[in-house]
Structure 1
Amino acid sequence: MTGSSAAAARRPRRLVLGLAGACHPAPALVVTTVSVLLAAGVGLSTGRVALLGLAVLTGQLSIGWSNDRIDAARDRATGQADKPAATGRVPVEAVAAAAGLALVSTVVLSLLLGPLAGAVALAGVAMGWAYNLGLKATVWSGATYLLAFATVPTVPYLALPGHPWPPWWAPVAGALLGFGAHFANVLPDLRDDAATGVRGLPQRLGPRAGVVVMACALAAASVVLGFGPAAASLAFALTASAVGIAGAAAATVAAVVAPESPVAFRITMAMAVVDVGMLIAAIA
């Protein structure tokens, strides 16, 4: 194989790896996993669980790819070495095309869940795109996370026969968890955001107040999850609350000790999976 043909053979692999890195894979996989577990937990059929999982995954991919495409110049200016679009490891045109294809896919797949479930699912995706397109730099940045994460436990219920609304505490816990995740995700980037003029809610509050808000939101999510279900025992309520408070404390320590590290955000994502397990236990 000549050098030129070998290079040509490597291009598709580099493109795939670049797109995989540009889609924000960890949050996309966590949100998809959480949604699939919830869908199975509320009693959706295997086919409907798979459909919901694909709808959520494509929506998350569209959000992740659009974020890297929109922020490519900013990420390049701040030296973000882990951003494939900013470093040139994948062409920005390819990232934009992938985001568009994923967006079309999630619209089709979401609507196959039913008009109401599909509309709510797409509202969550719209919040992610709105954040990327400019709300991240406004005081309303946290509202996009609140609304988007509230849809995560709502869609599986609406996809059931009869389209029942979820119990109030499920979307409330999801919204609080998302609000905390917003702060955990942004806190490591406060310095870069200041350099590029991004002034969302966490940036306006600053690192000290931001850590407090993050901890309170994460802890509150688990307290709501513990005490919200009317049929839950006191032992369950106390356990769920204790687990959530412990997780919030761990995320707070991580954010204070290593403010530029993504550890706090990773703890938040782990808490999301744990909270889903407790939610399923509460409705079982």
Structure 2
Amino acid sequence: MAPDRVPDASALRGVVVAAHPGPALAVTVLVGLLVLAQGLAAGRGILVVAAVLAGQLSIGWSNDLVDRARDRTAGRTDKPLATGAASVTAVRVACLGAVAACIPLSVALGPRAGLLHLVCTASGWAYNLGLKATVWSWVPYAVTFGGLTAVVTLADGEAPPWWWPVAAALLGVGAHLLNVLPDLDDDAATGVRGLPHRLSRGRIAPVAAAVLVAASGVALVGAAPPIPVAVGVGVVVLALGAVVVRSRGRTPFVAAVAVALVDALLLVVAR
């Protein structure tokens, strides 16, 4: 079946899957936790979360649109545009709709927060459009994850504490390394050589685990929670780091998301 022609019954599911809903939802939830930690008013917090969700959806859909030919070449059965489970036209419309929502929602956050959120979203698009295949593939993740923390505080008229963007940027880099890990062979076959591809397969997980633990260390230093809380967070993060190193498939990436959630919850508890 041609990728542009799909039965109506399967079109919606294909479009949703093409948005990378798991990562998009994870980032949005993390931002929601930061909103709680910042103590934003309900209406303001919802606006921030809505803007971030729209931006993340646009990044996910643009990724599959840009990589459609590459995914077909690699035989990616998990990519709806590559298998024909989603209509290219429908995904394009959805992507444009997400962009059309992201821009006014960002502007509504105010000039500083809004502009920064648009930069974070553009950074994700830059990854899709070519940076993913260079040694600088980690930069969009660092910029987007770190920048989103500042979006939350700037929406409240404040600069973030130094450790928010630093910890978040490290989390983003760790997530990038692990997100690519299962796709190394497919990427190599289609000419993608980002930072993770330039590391040996055996080094990616240990390096990512070290980066994630460092991110949590920064969060602990900045938040300065009570000792029992700090010990508990440390134990959980180290255990998740072990999962990152020892597991296979998508599990290391899920563990990275769990580390990010633990760190974000730390901010809420320590507030």
**Pairwise same-fold verdict (TM > 0.5):** yes
Segment of structure 1 superposing worse, 65-74 or 235-244: 235-244
In 2, distance between residues paired with 1:113 and 1:158? 8
In 1, distance between residues paired with 2:221 and 2:36? 23
Query: What corresponds to 1:175 in structure 2?
Result: 169
- 8 Å CA contact 2:15–2:87 kept in 1: the answer is no
- The letter of the residue matching 1:279 is L
- 8 Å CA contact 1:62–1:99 kept in 2: the answer is yes
In 1, distance between residues paired with 2:37 and 2:163? 16
- 8 Å CA contact 1:157–1:164 kept in 2: the answer is yes
Deviation by residue 1:5-28 (Cα, 9 ceiling, x = unmatched): xxxxx9444221111110001001
Matched, 1:191 2:185: yes
Query: What corresponds to 2:238 in structure 1?
Result: 245
Query: What corresponds to 1:266 in structure 2?
Result: 254
In 2, distance between residues paired with 1:152 and 1:240? 23
Structure 2 unaligned blocks of 5 or more: 1-5
Q: TM-score, normalised by structure 1?
A: 0.90
Query: What corresponds to 2:221 in structure 1?
Result: 227
- The letter of the residue matching 1:196 is T
- 8 Å CA contact 1:32–1:53 kept in 2: the answer is yes
State the Cα RMSD in Å. 1.6
- The letter of the residue matching 1:245 is L
Matched, 1:61 2:57: yes
Residue identity (%): 48
Structure 1 unaligned blocks of 5 or more: 1-9
Query: What corresponds to 2:78 in structure 1?
Result: 82
Deviation by residue 1:213-262 (Cα, 9 ceiling, x = unmatched): 20111110111111123x533444333333222211211111xxx2xx11
Deviation by residue 1:11-47 (Cα, 9 ceiling, x = unmatched): 4442211111100010011111111121122111111
- 8 Å CA contact 1:185–1:265 kept in 2: the answer is yes
Considering Cα pairs closer than 8 Å and 6+ residues apart, tell me whether 1 or 2 has the greater RCO: 2
Please list every run of at least 4 consecutive aligned residues from structure 1 whose deviation after the TM superposition is greater than 6 angstroms. Answer: none
- 8 Å CA contact 2:233–2:262 kept in 1: the answer is no
- The letter of the residue matching 1:221 is A
| Counterpart selection for 2:210 from 186, 207, 216 | 216
| Counterpart selection for 2:40 from 30, 38, 44 | 44
In 2, distance between residues paired with 1:43 and 1:74? 43
Matched, 1:31 2:19: no
- 8 Å CA contact 1:225–1:240 kept in 2: the answer is no
Q: TM-score, normalised by structure 2?
A: 0.94
Q: Shift of residue 123 of structure 1? A: 1.4
In 2, distance between residues paired with 1:172 and 1:125? 18
Q: How many corresponding residue pairs?
A: 267
